[in-house]
Chain A
Amino acid sequence: MHIEISLQDGVPIYRQIVNQVKYLIASRQLDPDEELPPIRALAEQLLVTPNTIVKAYGALEAEGIVYKRRGAGTYVAEVTSRLARKEQKKILAQRADALLAEAKQLSFTFEEVMELLQSRQDVLNKVLSKENSDVG
């Protein structure tokens, strides 16, 4: 399980782990019923105090995203497809926020941003149809 800790943005480390596990599930890099690394193993990998992993797994469990088996490990829960969509939306929303903030900084109106999105979509469509016809 690939997780990266950042100390730059002031987000508590357990929060970063929770968010990244959700992201890994949302982007299908973790499957339902897949086992998460044991606490000590992940603590050694990330070089964080084991209690941070305990806290992160606890928060994920409280949200119903993972479940624990008695005496065994921590596993990704089944009920994640709806959540996955929600998380995917959240990821996109963050991108959208960044785009809107930058547009404001550069004094673009919202309508201009929408026009830009539409024109990029047209370009993307053209590229895709060309690729398809090349294959065909």
Chain B
Amino acid sequence: MSDKVIEVRDLSRRFGTTLALDGIRLEVQPGLVYGLVGANGAGKTTLIKHLLGLLRAKQGTVKVFGLDPAQHPVEVLQRIGYLSEERDLPEWMRIDELMRYTRAFHPNWDQAYGLELLELFGLDPAKKVKHLSKGMRAQAGLIAVVSHRPDLLLLDEPSTGLDAVVRRDILNAIVRTVADDGRTAIFSSHLLDEVEQMSDHVFMVDGGKLVLEGSLDEIKESHHLLVLRFPRACERLPPIEGVLSAEGSGNTWKVVCNGAAGQVREAAQAMGGEVTLSRGASLQEIFVARVGRDRLKASQE
């Protein structure tokens, strides 16, 4: 009924006493790269499991390609290429067997593309999965998930533990997925530089909640980093409206604020201080400001 790739409404999930997901609402549009970021245990993997239909939505709804993935697993999973952090592949298969096996599930498997990647990565099709290095496993897993040209490429921590060469292969697979014919990619990563470079749109989760989402350019243009210097040292920075986090000591404080740089400057000047540096904040800095230890709880609202 719509051309949204994903539509999640008020999704909550409790495991025992832990609220793993807390009222998640999000939409994914075709043709974009989405970065999913959050600390360990923030709820990223639980969310992904709902998108794959591995967990059924108990509270709220999940629609992927307009369907509930738990009720229509075949229709939904056929159009998804999913690579998990563990890259769990059948150990006893040879690479060519793995390709043949995966192909059986995907009517639109593109063998030419699969073979092209095989050659590009320099993998020996006769080699068994259990004899592959970590990087080669990731490459084999990547071939298995992109060769059917999925409408949605879903990568959960794809870069973990990989060297720069294989990381590049994985990011290039995202580029091709989106550039070639406007398909969609979502990837979660703790490497925020990677997310900052590769994403059109960011979902930031913390404690099961979506704490920040938006186009990456807008997020970067609205968040600023200021260094404030005061004539006297203070133990903690006096509260300033608009400041998300403060880090520092004595008379020099580094703060991250959202859209209120002018206001923060005025407040600092009213306290006799001055702004010695002002620039846009990186995603890393925004992430730390939003979910890190130095955030100021009172001004989160």
Contact = CB atoms under 8 A, between A and B. Distances in A.
A46 B178 CA distance: 15
Contacts of A9: 279-280
Contact of B280 (A11, A39, A50, A52): A11
A125 interface: no
Given A7-B196, A10-B224, A49 B178 contact: yes
A60 to B, nearest CB: 16
A120 B47 CA distance: 62
A74 to B, nearest CB: 14
A49 B200 contact: yes
A55 B215 CA distance: 13
A89 B199 CA distance: 33
A40 B178 CA distance: 9
A75 interface: no
Interface in A32-55: 39-40, 43-44, 46-52, 55
B180 A40 contact: yes
B175 A52 contact: no
B196 A49 contact: no
B176 interface: yes
A8 B221 contact: no
A74 B282 CA distance: 30
Interface string B133-176: 00000000000000000000000000000000000100110111
A16 to B, nearest CB: 11
A51 B198 CA distance: 10
Interface residues of B, number: 31
Looking at chain B's contact residues, the main secondary structure is helix
B44 to A, nearest CB: 19
A24 interface: no
Nearest to A46: B197
A43 B179 CA distance: 9
A7 B282 contact: yes
Contacts of A47: 168, 171-172, 175, 197-198
B75 interface: no
Contact of A5 (B197, B200, B281): B197
A12 B32 contact: no
A51 B32 contact: yes
Given A10-B220, A40-B176, 5 more contacts: A12-B216, A12-B221, A13-B196, A49-B175, A50-B179
Q: Which 4 A-B pairs have the closest CB atoms?
A: A10-B280, A50-B179, A40-B179, A49-B33
23 contacts: A7-B284, A8-B282, A9-B279, A10-B223, A10-B224, A10-B281, A10-B282, A11-B220, A11-B280, A12-B216, A12-B220, A40-B175, A43-B179, A44-B175, A46-B197, A47-B198, A48-B197, A49-B33, A49-B175, A49-B198, A49-B199, A50-B178, A55-B217
